[in-house]
Chain A
């Protein structure tokens, strides 16, 4: 019978080598003596990612490394792990019989579609059994292209993940790959063979009546909505909350975290809203930068959410995912929580993690990251990239 083991460890030690050693040691204790087949690594940017990679490689020779830096802190079922020294966390996975792991990676460079394709090709080449689910973590900015490239090689394989993050949105993030640490890259880890899994991606917002057609801009820059400067329209929808930024330019992440935009997709009689986080207003042309893609002609609508919704979503995610995977079969969980959402929720996220995950996943190692973009599989739509979202991936035995 195929078996899956998992162990999770964190450390807030100031010294990076010591923190990594502690996290590895704690995580290894959960593997019942099995040799890990995959190390999923995260850390906040107070630590030097290169030093973490070196320390994990030294402690776990030959074990493929995968992961990204997290914003704000590490999330666990015991709450938020955060410290002025920073935090390092590791989820180790080991498997026997017909469950195996494969990893691929690529620098994004000028062509993120090709990068996604290259990472997927490495997996297709090295996987001993067919990939069942992918964990995708890369630099923020071109996630849609990365997913498109992966789909060229591994179509229909569900993917869940989140984008690398720092605290100040200054590009200080890192991607941990099998080949080292990169600023501009994607790493893909595949769980292959007989693994059981269940994942869900949710954005806890409801549509409002405000909507408009994108009449200017493309990709992640929106210049006009219904023929008017995009920032003016957004500011009107937000009751003037962006007036300073419209006049002077600036970051609008906080103002839009609970009132983002979305594009509606109708799939199989249901609607799925791909959420977009407006990030920045440019005063000179009153355009708006987004953290996900729009196309001319898209209809965007304003969404509305609440702090309560952003914490209750943890319970809903667990309810959805555990429907397909009995509790006694679950061996590990990966939680991806939008950093913007975590920032909006604040300290109450700590209690919400304990309330919604500690009891329900009592014996299961849970690694949680705060990311700058979330990816997940939506039935009927495929693998999507969106913002202000939360995903939970449960991994288990058949």
Chain B
């Protein structure tokens, strides 16, 4: 099981820009780029990152991301 944070970052960067990743870092307080595809997520960090996604993405994008993360 790879890093969910890494997959979230990849999704946000692809949909938006690297500026959105910087906003994700600022809003969550988590240095998300330290997570690589095979990193183990810190549960606290994952909770913080998930908590701000609705501020960055549309509800459709959040749903799409949720689908991707389930697979």
Contact = CB atoms under 8 A, between A and B. Distances in A.
Interface in A163-208: 167-170
A79 B61 CA distance: 25
Going nearest first, the 7 A-B pairs with the smallest beta carbon separation are A167-B25, A82-B19, A72-B22, A84-B18, A168-B25, A82-B18, A343-B26
Contacts of B18: 73, 82-84
Contacts of B21: 84
Given A82-B17, A82-B22, A346-B23, 20 more contacts: A72-B19, A73-B18, A73-B19, A73-B22, A84-B13, A84-B33, A167-B26, A168-B29, A168-B30, A168-B31, A170-B31, A253-B26, A254-B27, A254-B52, A343-B26, A343-B27, A346-B56, A347-B16, A347-B17, A350-B19
B59 interface: no
Interface size bracket, B side: 20 to 34
A235 interface: no
Given A168-B31, A170-B31, A339 B26 contact: yes
A346 B31 CA distance: 18
Interface centre among B17, B22, B26, B29, by most chain A C-beta atoms within 10 angstroms, is B22
Interface string A347-381: 10010000000000000000000000000000000
Contacts of B56: 346
Contact of B20 (A168, A169, A254, A346): A346
B55 interface: yes
Contact of A167 (B13, B16, B17, B22): B22
Interface in B11-59: 13, 16-23, 25-31, 33, 52, 55-56
Contacts of B23: 72, 342-343, 346
Contacts of B52: 254
Contacts of B30: 168
Given A84-B13, A346-B56, A251 B20 contact: no
B19 A170 contact: no
Contacts of A169: 26, 29
A63 B5 CA distance: 43
A80 interface: yes
A346 to B, nearest CB: 6
A211 interface: no
A251 B19 contact: no
Interface size bracket, A side: 20 to 34
Contacts of A80: 19
Interface centre among B13, B21, B29, B55, by most chain A C-beta atoms within 10 angstroms, is B29
19 contacts: A73-B22, A80-B19, A82-B22, A83-B18, A84-B18, A167-B25, A167-B26, A168-B25, A168-B28, A168-B29, A168-B30, A170-B29, A251-B29, A253-B27, A342-B23, A343-B23, A347-B16, A347-B19, A350-B19
A47 to B, nearest CB: 13
A339 B23 CA distance: 9
Nearest to B52: A254
Contacts of A342: 23
Contacts of B55: 254
A84 B56 CA distance: 17
Contacts of B17: 82, 347
Contacts of A71: 22, 26
A254 B55 CA distance: 9
A16 interface: no
Nearest to B9: A84
Interface centre among B19, B31, B56, by most chain A C-beta atoms within 10 angstroms, is B19
A73 B26 CA distance: 12
A254 B29 CA distance: 11
B55 to A, nearest CB: 6
A391 interface: no
Contacts of B19: 72-73, 80, 82, 347, 350
A82 B21 CA distance: 10
Interface in A70-91: 71-73, 80, 82-84
B57 to A, nearest CB: 11
Nearest to B19: A82
Nearest to B25: A167
Contacts of A72: 19, 22-23, 26
